[in-house]
Chain A
Amino acid sequence: MTEFLLAAAIFVLAMVALGLVRILRGPGDADRMMAAQLLGTGGIASLLLAGSATGEAATIDVALTLALLAAFASFAFVKAHPAPRQDESAREDDA
């Protein structure tokens, strides 16, 4: 079971690393942010898998921290792209 879990962790990590090609290619900021979000989730998954394989309980806490940080990264990205300047034209909500 240990070997299987470690292999799964490496596989998920390799998939996420492959997804980072999207950061290189773009084309938009949002595409790059999506790849970063996938990196966050995949990192959590492979941390949990590796932690379960090695019996290291602390990796669960690291994964929890990573989940929190990945959430904040996405929200910071959205905050960095605020709604366009308010003008007289009809405008959607800006939340």
Chain B
Amino acid sequence: MNAVLDLWTVLAVTAGAILFLAGTTGLLRFPDAYARLHALTKADNLGLGLVVLGLLPQVDSVSAGLKLLCIWALVLLSGATASQLIARVLLRRDTHS
């Protein structure tokens, strides 16, 4: 059982790290700001989510696990809201200048 849980941790954390790699690559290589925003949100939501899911079997109390999930939920909410707001700033800049 422990080996299975450890394997799950390794798989999920690796997938999360790869998404962070993809997010950075996108942020550096994509041609315009909207595409970069798209790359960023993938790294934000999925990368951190996979890391959190991978770490869940490693926590030693239920409250610590719940705290991890709370962090993910907070990042999901704030990331989604902030992306919308930043895209709106970009759109305003592009249409008014």
Q: Which of B23, B55, B59, B68 contacts A38 (CB 8 A)?
A: B23
Q: B residues within 8 Å of A by Cβ?
A: 6, 9-10, 13-14, 16-17, 20-21, 23-24, 27-28, 33, 36-37, 40, 43-44, 47-48, 51-52, 55, 58-59, 64, 67-68, 70-71, 74-75, 78-79, 81-82, 85-86, 88-90, 92-93, 96
Task: Apart from A16-B20, A21-B28, A77-B86, list 18 A-B contacts with CB within 8 A.
Answer: A5-B9, A5-B55, A5-B58, A8-B14, A19-B28, A28-B90, A37-B79, A41-B47, A41-B75, A44-B75, A45-B16, A45-B47, A48-B55, A48-B68, A61-B67, A64-B67, A71-B81, A74-B82
Tell me the residues in window 10-36 of chain A with beta carbons closer than 8 Å to chain B beta carbons. Answer: 11-12, 15-16, 18-19, 21-22, 28, 30-31, 33-35
